[in-house]
Structure 1
Amino acid sequence: MTSKKLYYACDLVDDPELIEEYKNYHSKNNTWPEITKSIKDSGIVDMEIYILANRLFMIMEVDETFTPERKQKMDKENPKVQEWENLMWKFQQALPTANKGEKWLQMSQIFKL
């Protein structure tokens, strides 16, 4: 099985209380099991999210079955994922270059040692 890594960025609303609540939703014991299952079912092998102030950085390791289009389709058809995504909009805000409704934007590599 081959895998590759994808990198995404998103911003949170710049409010310390909301940021703490967002972090709490993403702690190991609070993540909804339906969400982690949907992530794995889409071909995501591993996922990490980092934070600095209100900027989020996500690393996804994906297998050959993963495509962003497939993941988006699966998410739209999953009521629990839709519930989660609607809840997360309370905390997240689109990056300045995002299109309407976009949260996480894929980043491009500009350097590798």
Structure 2
Amino acid sequence: MQRFCLSLDLKDDPDLIAEYERWHARGSGWPEVRANDLKAGILDLQIYRTGNRMFMILETDDQFTFEKKAALDLLSPHVQEWERLMWTFQQPLPWAKEGEKWVLMDQIFQFEK
């Protein structure tokens, strides 16, 4: 299993943030998007928020790659529509590369065993 942590900002607007959270409430996600994520090898996906900053944890199978996920996303009209909708709420981090949404975070600490 692999674990990836990513970050992205929401537009700093309380109404937009509330609507974004409604789209992500239990039972509100699109089943086609979830099916695509599972097909890509994502076993679990969690999103946390503080203010307008979001933090996502992906747990994946060992065959998962971001390239494979991107290729599957391009083939799914539902994922493309979902991403367009979500982008109305999201904004890139100040240091994100051109066209980059979720930015992969670097692990800087772990308990020593």
- What TM-score do the two structures reach when normalised by structure 1? 0.96
- Over residues 10-35 of structure 1, what are the superposed CA-to-partner deviations in whole Å (9 max), with x where a residue is unaligned? 00000000000000000111111111
Task: Indicate the SS of the match to 2:29.
Answer: coil
Question: Percent of aligned positions with the same letter in both sequences?
Answer: 48
Give the deviation of 1:83 after TM superposition: 0.2
Structure 2 residue 92 is the aligned partner of structure 1 residue 94: yes
Q: Partners in 2 of 1:50 and 1:70 — Cα distance?
A: 24
Match of 1:65 in 2: 63
Task: Indicate the SS of the match to 1:10.
Answer: strand
Task: Spell out the pairing of 1:41-60 with structure 2 (5 A cutoff).
Answer: 41-60=39-58
Match of 1:27 in 2: 25
Letter in 2 for 1:19: I
Q: Partners in 1 of 2:26 and 2:32 — Cα distance?
A: 13
- RMSD after superposition: 0.7
Q: Partners in 2 of 1:26 and 1:40 — Cα distance?
A: 17
Give the deviation of 1:56 after TM superposition: 0.4
**Matched positions, count:** 111
Letter in 1 for 2:9: D
Match of 1:15 in 2: 13
Unaligned runs of 5+ in 2: none
Letter in 1 for 2:29: T
Letter in 2 for 1:82: Q
Q: Partners in 2 of 1:51 and 1:6 — Cα distance?
A: 16
Unaligned runs of 5+ in 1: none
Q: Partners in 2 of 1:4 and 1:85 — Cα distance?
A: 24
- What TM-score do the two structures reach when normalised by structure 2? 0.96
- Over residues 25-66 of structure 1, what are the superposed CA-to-partner deviations in whole Å (9 max), with x where a residue is unaligned? 001111111111111110000010000000000000010121
Give the deviation of 1:98 after TM superposition: 1.0
